[in-house]
Each structure stands twice: as structure tokens, then as C-alpha cells.
Chains A and B, each alone.
Chain A
Amino acid sequence: MDKLLEIKDLHKKYGKKEVLKGFDLTVDKGKIIGLLGPNASGKSTLIKIINGLLTKDSGKVLVDGEEIGPASKAMISYLPEKTYISDWMKVSDILGYFKDMYQDFDFNKAVSMLTDFGIDLDAKVKNLSKGTKEKVQLSLVMSRNAKIYILDEPIAGVDPAARELILNNIIKNYPVDSCLIIVTHLITDIENICDEVVFVKDGRVYLHDNSDDLREKHQKSIDQLFREVYSC
């Protein structure tokens, strides 16, 4: 099966406000997808439902044919926008935690990535800066041999100089038979690595196409097209 992620007619409400209004999306293996949209367009809600952090109201979400649950979670490596690593641990403790919890976690790969980022394994998490914590999380997430990688704003909290290093690490470390979904506002930084882009507007897919085709068709960069669609 080439479809790694299949979403059909997904609906979600917060109180009376409908955030997802029949969202449809299919993601094939081997693709890097840019999931783009302004604030409150429904991106985060969608990502949280895929990861089992929110329950859907209706619709279908299948991860490699599995409903959301322990089996689907074992296939997804998720980098949230928030810092989820515990302050009371050392970096080496977190590595141990991931090794214990995920069968597909590559310990050596994580150590290598952390070393590339210049992070001390004996450092206490509470003493790390926000940017360093994000690098630790990214190293952990990209060191799993998952089927789907979902990265929510992976470069938002770091300086422009570190962005290239992070993006290179992402590209270098994701297995070719998996798929990578990147949610970001920093379109210029990621548009060259995306195979496809998805524009989310008002809780629905507004546009889903191959990046090169879009650029050729509109004679614009993805960033310019984004600004046009959302009238920035």
C-alpha cells in the first residue's frame, strides 16, 4: 500500500466553532509534504487528531490502514510545537526513555545527531535554552524509523543560521519509504524541500499539488502563492 495517511471527511468542533469542516487528504510514501495555512486554519487540530491528542467528531483517519490508536502511534514520529521533554531529566535520560518506549528508536543515530548539534548528553534539560530543547526533540523524533514523520514548526524557535542545519538533518535522517509532513509558517525556508504542498483554509484543503507543478503553473514561488491565497 502506497497510501500512508488517509483522511476522509474529517470534522471537528470546539464548542460551537467548527474547526475542521470535512477535511480530505491522502499522503503517499516517499513524499515530503508542506502543510501550510494561517493561524486558526485547522492545521494544528488536524495534526493533533492524527496523533491521537484530540478525538475527532466524525470522519475517517487511517495511518497505513490503521485507525488512530497504539498501532498508529507506533508508526508516527511526531514533533510538536511545544516542548514535551521533562525538565527533571538529563538528555541521556530522555534517550533512555525513547529507547524504552519505541522499538524503532535508533539510539546511535540520536547520539550522532545530538553531537552534530553540539549538545552535551549529560546536560540537564532544565538548563537548556528553548532552541536547544527543540534540537533535542528533533534529534529524538528523527532517530526513529517511523513510517510518518510529522514536524510541527520544526524551525520556528531557532535562529536562521541553525535552520539550514536542522533542515539538512531532517532530510538526511528520514527513511525514503516513509513520508514527512512539515507544518510551518516559514515557507521560504522549506519550499525547496517539499515534494507537495497542502494549503489549509477554513478547515478544508484549499489546494493540494506538486510543488514544482504549482510553481510552473502559477509562475510564482510557493511563498508568493501563499501570500496571494491568504491575501497577506
Chain B
Amino acid sequence: MKTHFTINGQAASLDLDPRTTLLDALRERLDLKGSKKGCDHGQCGACTVLVNGQRINACLSLAVTHEGDEITTIEGLAQGEALHPVQAAFLEHDAFQCGYCTPGQICSTIGMLKEAADGWASLATDDLTADTVLTDEEIRERMSGNLCRCSAYPQILAAIRSAGGLA
């Protein structure tokens, strides 16, 4: 089934078996292997990409449903040699060990920071109608869909705090 989308600013057109997930289309058809297949069931977050600016699990989304969508993966974040501020913050704060979850962590962070900027609440928000303040507890709650088996969580938290202008 012919499907058209924009991947990292470039138009792409694929003839897809409807069974193909967005993650498999990115990795196997477009050779964008930054997005990782960890659990393949929406439990680990390693496949997180941005679709029209929102973070989703690419492993649980059929590629044919993304006709016309703008998709951003880890490969599309840097401007030439200049890293995206969230990428730079992860480097600065040593926010990974093996690196497998990192592309998902970074894409998820970008989506999460936009959600917070848009005033979305989380379960860590005491007053649901107050302005959003990204405390450490808020960041942890909002990032709970991204697992790090090396447990670099303190450094990931520091990187996100820094990238979000919170430290």
C-alpha cells in the first residue's frame, strides 16, 4: 500500500505491507536504525519518535496509518555538526552507558518538554489547573515510559533538567 510521509524533513514514499510498523519501516525500509527495537510491545520506549511533534511508540503504530505525517527520528535532530540541545545535554551529563535507550530517551524528552511548555499536567501535578513547573518528580513521572536498563536515570534527569533550562 503506497504511503507518503515526511521523514526528518525529506519526503518519503513507500509501498508497504499493512502489517509493517512505523518502527520497521524506519529501520528496515529507510535504513534509519537510530530508533531501537527493544521490547516491540510499547513497554520500553526505545522506539520513541516524534510524529507531528508528539512522541509515540513507533513499534505499536502501523506505518500505513501515517499517510501525510511529519516524522522526526534521532537522525533528524542535529543541524549539520550542531547537536540538538537535548543531544548536547545528554553528552554533557553522561546520560547513558550502553546507549541503546538513548535515541528514545532523547526523542521522548523533546516531546515531553513541549507537552510541559503547552501546560499539560501529569500525575505528579498537585494542582491540575496551575501552571506546569517541571520539578524532578514531574520529570521522572513524565519520562516513565522510557526504561534504561543501565539505570543512568540520575544523569538522564540531570540532562533533561539542563536541556529544559531548569538547572
A binds B: no
Interface, chain B (partner A; CB < 8 A): none
Interface, chain A (partner B; CB < 8 A): none
